[in-house]
Amino acid sequence: MIPPAIAVHHLTRSYRSHTALSDVTLAVPTGSVYALVGPNGAGKTTLIQLIMNLRQPTSGVAQVLDLPASSIHGAILNRIGYVSENHEMPDWMTISELLDFLRPFYPTWDYALEQQLLREFALPLDRQLGELSRGMRVKTAFVSSLSYRPELLVLDEPFSGLDPLMRDDLIQGLLDRIGETTIFLSSHDLAEIESFASHIGYLESGRLLFSEELDSLSARFRQVRFRPGSTVAPDSALPPSWLEVERSQSHCKFRDSSFCTPEQAIAQIRAAFPHASEISFEPLSLREIFLTQARTSRVLRDLSAERAAQ
């Protein structure tokens, strides 16, 4: 059995009274494109820094390419590419000089691939890095990270602040690498992620709320609408998987986070609303799922705070 490219077990990182990451467990299958999403401050960058051995966990363990994350230094970096939102580069170098400098460090450097990527990204070799736009700097970082064909590519908010054309160029570059490289990325660009990610993880306030295949996630979320009829069930009778419920005497709408089949969903609805009619189901986009989870978590957090204050 092929081990996962990344395996995280009960990982926690605390800073005095603040817990940035709490008991996170996930696995990134080899050959997958795993997207980590969540609101600002959710802990995405902290998790990536722990995986890349840039910070040490308070507790728990992480393995990368079947090795402890604590061993991520030296020769092992030949097998891992890393691009962060604030990727640092020597501004006085040109793109050509940077690539000349990097090649000797990587025995697997593929010069033909480097040239292909430079053409695809239309990068000016004679321009100094300090003179480049943010988009061109990110493209340069991609070239320097992909040219040695890493087994694992870790990307921290790679598309942040880029125009749509730049994002499309970078995504196409990633799509061309899928299969030979495992990709683990965090991003807010949910529409783009939905077009190529195979797995998704959702972080909220340092906790991993779910981690699964994107197809599975999309299949279990549905927008549901129906006419409730004369009998209206109390809130306490509604299943916990019904999120953001809106209802009146004439209509009911909610988002089901545990949808299986229309037959099972209809049976569940009629258990609470025996006279329900005009029942319909619609799929949700990744952005809609993300917003539903975020709003639901905020409501639950506020309720918990109110109860604690009483």
Cα gap 206→44, rounded to integer Å? 8
Global pTM exceeds 0.85: yes
Q: Beta strands 182-186 and 207-213: pairing type?
A: unpaired
Q: Decide: 265 and 224 in contact? Cβ < 8 Å.
A: yes
Domain covering 221-309 in this structure, CATH number: 3.30.70
b/e string for 261-273 if b means 16 or more Cβ within 10 A? eeeebeebbeebb
Over residues 117-130, the pLDDT tens digits come to 999 889 999 999 99
* Alpha-carbon distances, residue 29 vs 34, 182, 260, 302 (angstroms): 8, 8, 25, 35
Angle, CA 256 vertex, CA 254 and CA 262 arms, to 5°: 105
pLDDT of residue 191: 73
Q: Which residue has the tokens 């494109």?
A: 33
Q: Would you say 13 and 197 are in contact if contact means Cβ atoms under 8 Å apart?
A: no
Cα 241 to Cα 113, 203, 255, 264, 276: the distances in Å are 48, 19, 8, 13, 18
Confidence of residue 143 (pLDDT cuts 50, 70, 90): very high
Section 186-215 average pLDDT? 87
Residue entry with tokens 């639901």: 296
272 closest CA partner among 246, 237, 306: 237
Spatial distance between the Cα atoms of 225 and 246, rounded to a whole number of angstroms: 10
- Whether the CB-CB separation of 205 and 297 falls below 8 Å is answered with yes
Q: What is the pLDDT of residue 175?
A: 77
Q: What is the dihedral of CA 42, 47, 49, 55, to 10 degrees?
A: 100
The CA-to-CA distance between both ends of the chain, in Å, stands at: 52
pLDDT digits (tens, 9 = 90+) for 272-290: 888 899 999 999 988 899 8
> Is 98 in contact with 90 (CB distance < 8 Å)?
yes
Q: Where are the domains of the chain?
A: 6-217, 221-309
8-67: pLDDT as tens digits = 999 999 988 889 999 999 999 999 999 999 888 889 999 999 999 999 999 999 999 999
Task: Write out pLDDT tens, residues 107-118.
Answer: 999 999 999 999
Looking at domain 6-217, which CATH architecture does it have?
3-Layer(aba) Sandwich (3.40)
